[in-house]
Amino acid sequence: MDGDGGFGSVEVDWDAEPVPNLASYGSYERARGAFEFDVPETFNIATDTVTRHADERGRVAMLQRIERTGGPDDERTHTFWQLERRSNELANALRDLGVERGDRVAIVGSRSDRVMVTHLACWKLGAISVPLSVLYGPDGLAYRLGDCEPTAVFADPAQFDAVGEAVADVGSVAALVGYGEVPPAPPGDRDLRRLAFADLSGSHYFDAVETAAEDPAFVLYTSGTTGRPKGVLQAHRALVGWLPSFQMCFELPWHDADPVLYATPPLAWIGGINLVLGSWHYGFPAFRYDQRTGFDPEAVFENVETYGTTRAVLVPAMLKGMAAVDETEYDLSALEVVMSGSEPVTESLYDYVTETLGANLNEMYGQTEAMHIVTTCTQWFDVQPGSLGFPVPGHEVEVIDEDGEPKGHGEDEVGIIGLQRPDPAMFVELWNDPEGTDAKFVGDWMNTDDLGWKDEDGRFWFKSRADNLIISRGYRIGPAEVEDSIVQLPAVANVGVVGVPDENQGEAVKAFVRPAEDATADDDLKDRIREHVRENLAAYQYPREIEFVDDLPTTVTGKIQRHELAEREEG
């Protein structure tokens, strides 16, 4: 393409876009040198992604497959017009429930259409949406809800018990909304309004409030290593900050087929939300498969064939599972580009995507505090498997030392990967944590807590986490939260948690447990520990490996020295 028009038959008015067609620059070097963000003063994610496309009634926004147990899956198509009307109705209903500008609304849901409509309604109101994983137990929910103090909580029926227990002591909650049915009353004597999502109705018309680009849009909770999860506040401008990388890593301006994005990450995480929003910004559909069971490699092949997805987001753990399955009976010819992340892609997985699946593979680097800041792009430069790629035009990314000074080139010049502020993709603050917010910066550089280095060509390479964060199947797991959960058991005297290498998951959670004096260190205790974490914290955070120990390395103040446990594991 020459940089004009849109993507396939999807027309884009580039003169009205906050980010130009990057392909029009002709090369990465030109784009990197010439492009600068020009963020609009007023900007609202909902009106940008849905309202402006809603006049074309048949324009498809979401293709959805909903897994059903014991029967055929549901298949649904949602247009921008339908999403606009439903989110307007919900915005009116939320206002009637007392939700005001700046209030938080928590979303604990698994159905993509309902979850995204709830987000859209919040943003139109000027409220702040707070997506939370359906995998959280009552303890995981209680802290997050207590921290963000939502006015309303939306939840799936499967989460009613956990949510009810969690909101019992959260005084801010005035309404509990069930996706599917009216939720039961939570424990205690709380006087809450309880409603079913389908019963929340209002006028089809709603004038979205005018929001500045800097106004808050959503809070996402990410795992911390030294304590509780941290709420990362992102502004409406974040969407603008994601667009250059969205063009590059999905190679949107360089392919002629009508794009359909297979967005696999859960919508409780920024990686799921920004993919759907990026598609909607440009006016093309996102495909969502709402699974009740675990990852199914064959379902990916089925969905690519059935829904004609041209782009797909597949993390290394997914690609490993797919590589073990025969794909030859499926027509995968629609697939043009695969984007991966969460951990470096090995050369064998790179070859699998490019040779077996016949697609280009690009890697994207970012985190909840700043997504889409480094990427690869096969249209602009040679991709080296395992490399994070180059800084996305518009973002100033550097490898720095502890004083914020740039490091040199080469594998012996390992430093902190930093992002310079101001930057539209960068978070606003950590919710209720000004000290934590300040600690994220070294001068004007945001500390990603990732260590890396640059080669002579300027490519970024990931070395390791600077902290003890565990990355398993794309989930970011804070060891402190897992330790706090395990030590609640009377049979556990103390515990230290680290990540250990795992061939399929990247890392697995391992717990070093010192049993209480009267406890029996056996398989039964291991099972109780795993079950406790699954039920009370989150299903993905339980320790797959448990080792009983007589003592744990601690500082003079009693803090677990996790680096010694990690070194013990390596040795």
> Measured between alpha carbons, how far is residue 296 from residues 276, 390, 541 in Å?
21, 32, 20
Closest CA to 431 of 72, 102, 84: 102
**69 Cβ contact list (under 8 Å, min separation 6):** 292, 293
Rg (CA), the chain: 23
pLDDT digits (tens, 9 = 90+) for 26-64: 999 999 999 999 999 999 999 999 999 999 999 999 999
Cβ atoms of 310 and 258 within 8 Å: the answer is yes
> Measured between alpha carbons, how far is residue 286 from residues 64, 217, 279, 399, 510 in Å?
8, 21, 6, 34, 36
Alpha helix stretches (DSSP H) within 168-269: 238-249
Closest CA to 186 of 196, 199, 176, 195: 176
Mean pLDDT computed over 385-400:
96
Measured distance CA(206)–CA(215) in Å, rounded: 19
Domains of the chain are 14-23+237-465 (3.40.50.12780), 80-234 (3.40.50.980), 471-570 (3.30.300.30)
Cβ atoms of 288 and 276 within 8 Å: the answer is yes
Q: From the CB of residue 5, how many other CB atoms can be counted at a distance below 10 Å? A: 15
In the structure, what pLDDT confidence band is assigned to residue 226 with cuts at 50, 70 and 90?
Answer: low
How high is the pLDDT of residue 3? Answer: 43
Sign of CA dihedral 297, 300, 305, 311: negative
Grouping H, G, I as helix, E, B as strand and the rest as coil, residue 453 is: strand
Instruction: Reply yes or no on whether the pLDDT at 215 is more than 90.
Output: yes
pLDDT digits (tens, 9 = 90+) for 536-569: 998 899 999 999 999 998 765 566 888 788 888 8
**535 Cβ contact list (under 8 Å, min separation 6):** 137
Instruction: Reply yes or no on whether the pLDDT at 4 is more than 70.
Output: no
pLDDT digits (tens, 9 = 90+) for 59-86: 999 999 999 888 889 999 999 999 999 9
In sequence order, the β-bridge partners of residue 129 are 105, 218
Q: Provide the pairing of β-strand 311-313 with 337-340.
A: parallel
Mean pLDDT computed over 357-381:
96
How high is the pLDDT of residue 470? Answer: 86
Report residue 532 as tokens.
């406790």
In the structure, what pLDDT confidence band is assigned to residue 1 with cuts at 50, 70 and 90?
Answer: very low
**465 Cβ contact list (under 8 Å, min separation 6):** 449, 450, 451, 471
pLDDT digits (tens, 9 = 90+) for 314-359: 998 899 899 999 999 999 999 999 999 888 888 999 999 999 999 9
Measured distance CA(250)–CA(360) in Å, rounded: 9
How high is the pLDDT of residue 555? Answer: 66
With 0-12 / 13-18 / 19 or more C-beta atoms within 10 angstroms meaning exposed / middle / buried, residue 286 is buried
Cβ atoms of 327 and 214 within 8 Å: the answer is no
Grouping H, G, I as helix, E, B as strand and the rest as coil, residue 151 is: coil
Query: What's the mean per-residue pLDDT of the chain?
Result: 93
Measured distance CA(546)–CA(479) in Å, rounded: 14
Q: In this structure, which amino acid lies at residue 310?
A: T
How high is the pLDDT of residue 343? Answer: 80
pLDDT digits (tens, 9 = 90+) for 119-173: 999 999 999 999 999 999 999 999 999 999 999 999 999 999 999 999 998 999 9
How high is the pLDDT of residue 473? Answer: 81
How high is the pLDDT of residue 480? Answer: 79
Q: In this structure, which amino acid lies at residue 37?
A: F
Q: Which helix (H) or strand (E) holds 202?
A: none
Q: In this structure, which amino acid lies at residue 157?
A: P
Instruction: Reply yes or no on whether the pLDDT at 424 is more than 60.
Output: yes
Measured distance CA(171)–CA(431) in Å, rounded: 18
> Measured between alpha carbons, how far is residue 358 from residues 297, 310, 331 in Å?
17, 11, 11
Q: From the CB of residue 62, how many other CB atoms can be counted at a distance below 10 Å? A: 22
Closest CA to 291 of 538, 474, 504, 65: 65
How high is the pLDDT of residue 2? Answer: 40
422: cis peptide before it, omega within 30°? yes
Measured distance CA(226)–CA(466) in Å, rounded: 13
**254 Cβ contact list (under 8 Å, min separation 6):** 1, 23, 379
- Residue recorded with tokens 């989930």: 475
Measured distance CA(218)–CA(128) in Å, rounded: 5
In sequence order, the β-bridge partners of residue 42 are 212
Measured distance CA(395)–CA(252) in Å, rounded: 19
How high is the pLDDT of residue 191? Answer: 83
In sequence order, the β-bridge partners of residue 206 are none
In the structure, what pLDDT confidence band is assigned to residue 224 with cuts at 50, 70 and 90?
Answer: low
Strands (E), 1-85: 60-66, 74-79
Q: In this structure, which amino acid lies at residue 464?
A: S
Instruction: Reply yes or no on whether the pLDDT at 223 is more than 80.
Output: no
Angle of helix 138-148 versus helix 160-167 axis, rounded to 10: 50
**DSSP secondary structure string, 304-316?**
HHHHT-SEEE--H
- Residue recorded with tokens 């013990």: 568
**376 Cβ contact list (under 8 Å, min separation 6):** 249, 362, 363, 364, 383, 387, 388, 389, 390
Residue 60: which region, alpha, beta or left (left: phi > 0; alpha: psi -120 to 50)?
beta
Instruction: Reply yes or no on whether the pLDDT at 22 is more than 90.
Output: yes
DSSP category for residue 356: I
How high is the pLDDT of residue 344? Answer: 82
